[in-house]
Amino acid sequence: MTLTLLPAALAVVAAAVLATSLAPTFEIALAGRIVSAAAHGVFWAVIVVYVSEIVHPDRIGRALAIVLAGPAVAGLVGLPIGAALVDVVGWRGVFGGASAILAVTAIALALILTDPGRATGDGGSSGPGERTSGSGWDRSAIPSTGTALAGTLVLLGHFVLFTYISMIVTDAARFGSGSLAIVLAVFGAAGAVGVTVSGWLSDRWPRATVPAAVLVLLTAFVIVAVAPTVPVLFVIAIVLWGLVSGVFPPAMQVRVLRLASARFRTTAGGVVVATFNLGVAAGAALGGMVVGSGVDRLAPAALVVSAIGGVALVILARTAPVPSP
């Protein structure tokens, strides 16, 4: 089913993006974006599981890091290109072009995807019997889902702060508005480095990578909270924060998939994508509530929420079964 679902989900995204580009009213454009977002969620929930099944267990981290480098590159390269093209072909032209690229990619996926059993020669990383046998309650649901929810709290804290990063740079750190682009570039470059090393870290230290990443994130938030006006410290915080933004999402997905049994892995992939998106939305909403009391309240709020998630992750890492190598 995966071989059909992945290109089908991408085809739905392409059709929804095309509908947005041709929309005569705001309501139709909005409907297109909603459909696109839903299909996008399906695509990422399935692809992380598919990748985990076509590679050897000790290379899951590196394989997922390669796949998840796509969104990082898109953010660094695609968004600026799209913004520049708006002035040339208009937003409808940009959406239409994106739809065409997505359609071609969907066709390519339909042609190149390989059944996990044939790709690994043994039914995937866990074997076909483990994937299909058994029924009823799956004991791996608790540690894998709990880890995903704890990671959501960390991301929630991240987005409390990141949603208002322009205000953090200009108001809290007192950098000039012209410095915002430079700070974001530094953040993005650090994130690209983080994505690059996340797979190796996850495979080399499967238990420690996620808690260590949270500790680095909390360090960055402490600096932003107590010393935002010290330029050197603030830049160090941005670099650390950017690195974690690249390391944490793929490392979290690897951790959740390794905690899930083969029978629960597809569900776990959907859970982690859904909870991550919940963290994005809830973080932005909470940030909007906090910022009304002052921009200086954002970093402490982010610190508290992420710390709670980090403590939960440490507890789960100590009590959950040892992940696959």
Note the pLDDT tens digit of each residue in 146-203: 999 999 999 999 999 998 998 999 999 999 878 888 888 889 889 888 988 988 898 8
- Check: CB of residue 250 under 8 Å from CB of residue 61: yes
Please report, rounded to a whole number, the percentage of residues in the chain having pLDDT higher than 90. 42
Please name the residues in contact with 39: beta carbons below 8 A apart, sequence gap of 6 or more. Answer: 9, 10, 12, 13, 16
Note the pLDDT tens digit of each residue in 226-282: 999 999 999 999 999 999 998 998 899 888 888 888 788 878 878 888 888 888 889
- From the list 155, 261, 255, 273, the residue with the least C-alpha distance to 210 is 255
Report pLDDT for 288.
Answer: 92
pLDDT at 75 over 90: no
Residue 245, class by beta-carbon neighbours within 10 Å (0-12 exposed, 13-18 middle, 19+ buried)? buried
Q: State CA 9 to chain mean position distance.
A: 18
Report pLDDT for 77.
Answer: 66
Report pLDDT for 116.
Answer: 66
Please name the residues in contact with 319: beta carbons below 8 A apart, sequence gap of 6 or more. Answer: 143
Average pLDDT on 281-301 reads 92
Query: Could you give the CA distance from residue 225 to residue 159 in angstroms, rounded to a whole number?
Result: 15
Average pLDDT on 31-49 reads 86
pLDDT at 212 over 90: yes
Report pLDDT for 80.
Answer: 65
Average pLDDT on 19-24 reads 93
Mean pLDDT over each residue of the chain, to the nearest integer: 85
Note the pLDDT tens digit of each residue in 92-134: 999 999 999 999 999 999 998 877 655 555 444 444 334 444 4
